[in-house]
Chain A
């Protein structure tokens, strides 16, 4: 029997799981505040998926056209289909300009205007004067903005002396006998050893989980580990029915072609050559919100106006644009299209189709990054010692649909804010006997023991096949469009998949860098998220943002202007209200969403 009683133990003030933009921004803040911080990452930090963000980060700097944070706030709330919490959205939009300038001082190589200021480009769903005309708000480093920000934040952490546990896989949260969060068990991937990191505060910054779907823009590592750990600890996951399908993934492959392609003037065309977005968003056309554009593409294809021999995609056309501009502003996606579609976007239109891209839901938090749960009376209360930031968190600033350029903003704003909150709390609450409390690791040991079963002579159902079946089922049952039948069918498929996972065994039982074991643990995490998604989605009988139901086509503010909270126990779904009041300005009342 696996025993974790005598495992190596490390002690830190704060342990952060995940070294993407959110985790690194938080780590930097804490290191600079002289907190002892450990960052646990299953990949070397600069390989985190923030690296793949392309188009940019929103801030109302007004470097190209007049702008202000209040307009940004309005656009974000409208984009969220009014499911975003307005206090958090105001906070994010107000912080944006300063935090982008801070990134610039940290060294991010932003592209520049002729005046030497940070270059900004138009993006979808952003406006001036509360919907009046297109804004130019997305600050960009060519089309490698995520890469530039991630590397810069890692570099700042080198200078600040942050401790990294690179290629360590986080297994589960640990609570003490008073049920306080006390740290976590991790696996050193290079040696296969399990270790315990005890800390006064634990922060989840594990990013997204679009590996849940067959076709996605996400890295292999995006398996929602942080969410599953929190769910297993008995805490809720919020708004898991809302997954963003990015309109322009390379057709049948999924690689992301940034919204910047349309921001710089690219147009979507159907099989008849029509620039069809004018039918769906007469005012802003190709720069409507992502949910609107993704649905439009899916409808064009469904109604027989797709492109190619199978009429299964549309075209992203930049051929009318200046070739030099494309090479200068969009070099990364031009490369991607050359590599994966064999086409040069300077001369050829690129086949695209909506692709799973971003998780709006996640671990519920307030705008200080504190993880929230419900008390017995159904009121929101913070969980002491536990924080979550970035895509794995649901603050919620994105509500039912995220605007392009708001995710890089989310990670740095809330990474910093949560770290400031932790620092504030730890200034006064760092009990000296905290690390003396005994910890019970038996549940974690039992979970790990399951994968030690070496009795099988032959592996009949490898975890890789189970994962692939799960991805296919999720894509078919809970894709761009859903209805009660597709989701009930999917729900009926999940239990058999769970049983296959329960019975699965590993083929490889070595300790050193055992991918088979890591992928099995990731699959367990994805499965938790699949249940959370489908149970939340089937109950929500309306269409809002990215949750588009064929059987309930309208938004229903009377019954559904509320957040879903999924608990793993009995797959229970509870609800809490959306915050419609802002911090210093008047909240925006829900109204019909037209672009």
Chain B
């Protein structure tokens, strides 16, 4: 199996370049995930650099661009990829080294949408003797957004985010925003919608849907953004 991998070491390389690698097919078999193949390649070349941790698609460390699509390497089967497997860092953010990107902007947008529950008015402490009740139907509204693992596959595949990474929140942060807007326990729905109602923050979404296509957890950020827009409209009507 042939691989062509983006390489850049800030200490030694003026320009990034692609390096070709070869891995014995017998090592790969039917079941090996791309992360396993990259680990094998690191035995040849310990300088090859990428993030990884859980190895089972739940921590979101190992997002990378594989044959043009953003994927998590640990849940991508090598046998399902066409050769040569071209691997690049996820696009649109600065590269630190090889496949490791600087996700600072991505996280800043996440922080900006205030992704934490506000169940009580400011200054009123929470009542630890009682649960906040939530019906199974209301709880079901959180499905499809609370599962996000912040891997960045969606936002870094979004052309609107590439053009305006400083102003457009991007699909991951908006998915998080939606999770708190629809949570029946949160009392700041109106304030949340008002702060999102902005030509850039939310409305740079052009419904391209790369986000939904690239989400390794099968979530639909695009739909969540449309829902936010609809809720803003409803708010203006009433």
Contacts and interface: CB of A to CB of B under 8 A. Distances in A.
A112 interface: yes
B55 A220 contact: yes
Contacts of A113: 136
A78 B87 CA distance: 51
B60 A52 contact: no
Nearest to A54: B58
Contacts of B130: 101
Contacts of A152: 116-117
A107 B55 contact: no
A112 B135 contact: yes
A515 B100 CA distance: 11
Interface in B96-131: 96-98, 100, 102-103, 107, 111, 114-117, 119, 126-131
Nearest to B111: A158
B53 A49 contact: yes
A470 B60 CA distance: 28
Interface string B132-167: 111110110010001101100000000000000000
Contacts of A118: 131
B9 A512 contact: yes
Contact of B60 (A46, A332, A340): A46
A375 B7 CA distance: 53
B103 A46 contact: no
A516 B51 CA distance: 12
Nearest to A98: B128
B42 A464 contact: yes
Contacts of B61: 43-44, 47
A585 B119 CA distance: 36
Nearest to A159: B116
Contact of B10 (A255, A335, A512): A512
Contacts of A255: 55-56
Interface string A31-59: 00000000000011011110110000000
Given A44-B107, A117-B131, A512-B96, A105 B119 contact: yes
A339 interface: yes
Nearest to B60: A47
B52 interface: yes
A464 B43 CA distance: 8
A144 B96 contact: no
Contact of B58 (A104, A114, A147, A513): A147
B193 interface: no
B147 A147 contact: yes
B199 interface: no
B119 A158 contact: no
Contacts of B15: none
Given A105-B119, A112-B135, A148-B146, A219 B49 contact: no
A508 B47 contact: yes
Contact of B96 (A61, A506, A513): A513
A112 B136 contact: yes
B49 A513 contact: yes
A350 to B, nearest CB: 14
A44 B146 CA distance: 18
Contacts of B237: none
Contact of B54 (A52, A107, A117, A335): A52
B150 A46 contact: yes
B222 to A, nearest CB: 21
Nearest to B30: A342
Contacts of B127: 105
A155 B149 CA distance: 13
Contact of A104 (B75, B131, B150, B180): B131
Contacts of B107: 44
Contacts of B55: 219-220, 255
Interface in A489-531: 506-508, 510-516
B116 A116 contact: no
Nearest to A100: B131
Given A44-B103, A49-B54, A101-B129, A111 B139 contact: yes
Contacts of B147: 144, 147
Contacts of A98: 128-129
B57 interface: yes
Interface in A52-102: 52, 61, 98, 101-102
Contacts of A144: 58, 147
Most chain A CB inside 10 Å of its own CB: which residue of B58, B136, B138: B58
Contact of B185 (A43, A47, A107, A159): A107
A130 interface: no
Contacts of B114: 159
A106 B185 CA distance: 10
A107 B117 CA distance: 5
Given A156-B116, A512-B10, A47 B46 contact: no
Most chain A CB inside 10 Å of its own CB: which residue of B10, B59, B180: B59
Contacts of A335: 57
B133 A507 contact: no
B96 A332 contact: no
Nearest to B57: A339
B24 interface: no
A219 B129 contact: no
A382 interface: no
A191 B57 CA distance: 27
A336 interface: yes
A113 B138 CA distance: 12
B53 A220 contact: yes
Given A47-B60, A101-B129, A507 B134 contact: no
Contacts of A48: 59
A117 B138 CA distance: 12
Nearest to B47: A508
B236 interface: no
A510 B119 contact: no
A391 to B, nearest CB: 15
B93 to A, nearest CB: 13
B115 A158 contact: yes
A538 interface: no
B238 interface: no
A332 B149 CA distance: 13
A5 to B, nearest CB: 24
A47 B107 CA distance: 13
Given A105-B119, A107-B185, A464-B43, 16 more contacts: A52-B56, A52-B58, A98-B129, A109-B146, A111-B136, A112-B134, A144-B147, A152-B116, A220-B53, A255-B55, A255-B56, A462-B43, A464-B46, A510-B11, A512-B97, A513-B96
Interface of B: 9-12, 31, 42-43, 46-47, 49, 51-61, 75, 96-98, 100, 102-103, 107, 111, 114-117, 119, 126-136, 138-139, 142, 146-147, 149-150, 180, 183, 185
18 contacts: A47-B60, A104-B132, A105-B128, A107-B183, A112-B136, A114-B136, A116-B134, A116-B135, A117-B131, A118-B131, A147-B58, A152-B117, A155-B117, A159-B114, A221-B53, A340-B56, A510-B47, A515-B49
